[in-house]
């Protein structure tokens, strides 16, 4: 390919952003471009099989005594220590969870800044793609074109007429918005000022107020379906591009086990096949996972469980199957209902395949996704740590029995899939890279 580009991806270390970038990167590789991943070092060996070049970074001083399971154990310990914070109202989490999380991400950005500059010098990319919630100055001050991806809920792109990000507040009730923003400023202002000053020392423009991530002058992509979007409340300028979904095509096929596949056909009572996942972090909350399994084990429904990093500690009921990791994008088309934590990938993928949701948010933008799904009628939001058994069972039965909603969701899913967000996103990256090369 004579116009082959070198595209450098730098995703946040979490599974959601990294998998999202894997999907886009695979399309670009298949088109003949060279794709480099400057991902966090725990992804070693997991990216090269897709045809990517791995040139990885450490976000903190490596522990010479850490074993191969260190990353997985870190997140198990993190959830064990942090889960009590997730039961607090979102406004209270600003001081105890959101600000420390931002600080940890900032510390990682500062630590790996010299590594990123060396990686960029080695590969001389035409375009650099960052999917994160804090800026890495090396990525946006190089000679390459720079593309920002927002794979969190797009309330991250702030506006006066939309709820504050991380609040989980309704779009049609502003009662608590001002108090939430005041608490955000109280808990985050000093962190923001220090980070903004450091970024400018590295050559970046000033950060917008309350934002820890710069907007790209070349192209900004966010991943969210039109049907959930806020653009009627907060229009965006021409630098922003929505891709309605970004469903990777790298997952292996999934065959529903015969015991579940041979279940009785759906009846008027709304029996069906459910997918349960709390994501890579929520799955480490063994108490919450087991409670959900036990409650769903009393139903007539069949359940596929993404069991997470502590799978060997969970006891599935007779109406269930599961594994520690499942190929989510090939499971979802086969189920009737999704029960999830409201991570952006799972939320957009459920919409992509036209599946109603029960959402049990834990942290970050999961509250915003849960609220948006609930207020627009695509599912039900429940309080994650205080729901009654009958609340969950009632929501499941109502959604499965709601044939009008299921028909509407089928049509929405078909529309989203026809927009082909994955290839649209890859084409935007390609177009920006080619334009930069010709400009130079």
3-state secondary structure 1-35: CCCCCEEEEEECCCHHHHHHHHHHHHHHHHCCCEE
Q: Give the per-residue pLDDT at 274.
A: 96
CA 70 to the chain's CA centroid: 22
Q: Look-up: residue for tokens 């834990």?
A: 362
267 pLDDT band (50/70/90 cuts)?
Answer: very low
Decide which of 262 and 206 is more confident.
206
DSSP state of 67: -
| Complete domains list, the chain, with CATH | 6-247+420-439 (3.40.50.2000), 258-418 (3.40.50.2000)
Pick from 123-132, 246-255, 388-397: least confident: 246-255
Alpha-carbon Rg for the chain in angstroms: 21
From 205, 39, 51, 36, select the one nearest 132 (Cα to Cα).
Answer: 39
Mean pLDDT of 68-73: 50
* 426 or 14, higher pLDDT: 426
pLDDT at residue number 270: 52
What three-state secondary structure class fits 77?
A: helix
Phi, psi values for residue 330, rounded to 5°: -105, -10
pLDDT higher for 301 or 247?
A: 301
% pLDDT > 90, the chain:
77
- Integer angstrom CA distances of residue 101 from 85, 199, 238, 345: 12, 18, 31, 20
Over the stretch 193-203, which tens digit does the pLDDT of each residue have? 999 999 999 99
Q: Which two tokens stand for residue 386?
A: 């205080």
Higher pLDDT, 435 or 37: 37
Give one DSSP letter per residue of 108-162, joined into a string: HHHHHHHHHHHHHHHH--SEEEEESSS--HHHHSSSSEEEEEE-S-GGGS--TTS
Is the pLDDT at 309 greater than 90? The verdict is no
Helix (H, G, I), strand (E, B) or coil at 338: strand
Report the pLDDT averaged over residues 292-313.
Answer: 93
Could you give the 3-state DSSP secondary structure of residue 260? helix
Q: What is the mean pLDDT of residues 356-382?
A: 96
pLDDT of residue 131: 94
Predicted pLDDT of residue 50: 94
Q: Find the mean pLDDT for residues 435-440.
A: 74
For residue 64, the model assigns a pLDDT of 64
Q: What is the mean pLDDT of residues 116-139?
A: 96
Cβ atoms of residues 131 and 17 within 8 Å:
yes
- Whether pLDDT at 269 is above 60: no
* pLDDT above 90 (res 416): yes
Instruction: Please tell me the least confidently modeled range out of 69-73, 156-160, 392-396.
Output: 69-73
SS3 of 285-316: the string is: CHHHHHHHHHHHCCCCCEEEEECCCCHHHCCC
The DSSP line for 406-422 is HHHHHHHHHHHHHH-HH
Can you give the pLDDT at residue 179?
97
Check residue 17 and give its pLDDT: 87
pLDDT of residue 119: 97
- Residue 167: pLDDT over 50: yes
Lowest-confidence region among 101-105, 262-266, 339-343: 262-266
Percent over 70 (pLDDT), the chain? 93
Q: How confident is the model at residue 66 (pLDDT cuts 50, 70, 90)?
A: low
Mean pLDDT of the chain: 91
pTM of the model: 0.92
pLDDT above 60 for 423: yes
Residue 268 scores a pLDDT above 50: no
pLDDT band, residue 74 (cuts 50/70/90): low
- Asked whether the predicted pLDDT for residue 15 surpasses 90, the reply is no
Q: Is beta strand 127-131 parallel, antiparallel or unpaired with respect to 145-150?
A: parallel
- Which tokens is 100 given? 């420390």
Q: Residue range 114-138: average pLDDT?
A: 96
In the predicted structure, residue 72 carries a pLDDT above the cut 60: no
Which pLDDT does position 310 carry in this prediction?
84
- Residues 240, 259: Cα–Cα separation, whole Å: 46
Distance CA 400, CA 353 (A): 15
User: Would you state the pLDDT for residue 264?
Assistant: 58
List, in sequence order, every residue forming a beta bridge with 54; answer none if it has no partner.
Answer: 37
């Amino acid at each position: 390919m004579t116009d082959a580009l070198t595209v450098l991806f730098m995703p946040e270390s979490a599974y959601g952003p990294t998998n999202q970038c894997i999907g886009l990167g695979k399309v670009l590789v298949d088109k003949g471009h060279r794709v480099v991943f400057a991902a966090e070092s725990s992804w070693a060996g997991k990216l090269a099989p897709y045809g990517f070049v791995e040139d990885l970074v450490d976000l903190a001083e490596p522990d010479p005594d850490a074993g191969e399971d260190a990353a997985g154990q870190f997140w198990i310990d993190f959830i064990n220590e942090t889960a009590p914070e997730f039961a607090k109202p979102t406004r209270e989490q600003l001081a105890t969870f959101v600000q420390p999380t931002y600080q940890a991400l900032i510390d990682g950005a500062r630590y790996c800044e010299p590594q990123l500059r060396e990686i960029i010098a080695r590969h001389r990319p035409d375009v650099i793609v960052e999917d994160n919630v804090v800026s890495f100055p090396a990525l946006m001050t190089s000679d390459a074109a720079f593309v920002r991806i927002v794979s969190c809920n797009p309330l991250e792109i702030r506006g006066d007429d939309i709820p504050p990000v991380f609040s989980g507040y309704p779009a049609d009730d502003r009662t608590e918005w001002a108090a939430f923003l005041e608490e955000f400023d109280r808990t985050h202002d000093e962190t923001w000022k220090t980070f903004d000053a450091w970024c400018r020392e590295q050559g970046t423009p000033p950060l917008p107020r309350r934002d820890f991530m710069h907007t790209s002058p070349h192209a900004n992509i966010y991943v969210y379906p039109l049907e959930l979007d806020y653009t009627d409340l907060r229009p965006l300028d021409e630098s922003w591009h929505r891709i309605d979904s970004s469903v990777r095509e790298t997952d292996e096929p999934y065959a529903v086990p015969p015991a579940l596949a041979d279940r009785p056909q759906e009846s008027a009572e709304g029996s069906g096949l459910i997918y349960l996942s709390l994501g890579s972090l929520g799955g480490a909350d063994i108490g919450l996972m087991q409670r959900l399994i036990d409650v769903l084990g009393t139903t007539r429904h069949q359940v596929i469980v993404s069991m997470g990093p502590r799978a060997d500690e969970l006891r599935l009921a007779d109406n269930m199957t599961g594994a520690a990791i499942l190929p989510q994008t090939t499971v979802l088309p086969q189920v009737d209902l999704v029960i999830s934590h409201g991570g952006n990938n799972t939320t957009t993928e459920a919409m992509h395949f036209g599946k109603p949701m029960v959402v049990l948010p834990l942290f970050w933008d999961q509250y915003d996704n849960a609220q948006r799904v609930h207020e627009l009628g695509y599912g039900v939001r429940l309080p994650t740590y205080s729901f009654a058994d009958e609340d969950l069972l009632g929501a499941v039965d109502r959604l499965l029995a709601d044939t009008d909603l299921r028909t509407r969701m089928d049509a929405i899913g078909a529309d989203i899939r026809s927009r082909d967000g994955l290839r649209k996103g890859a084409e935007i990256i390609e177009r920006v890279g080619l334009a930069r090369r010709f400009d130079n």
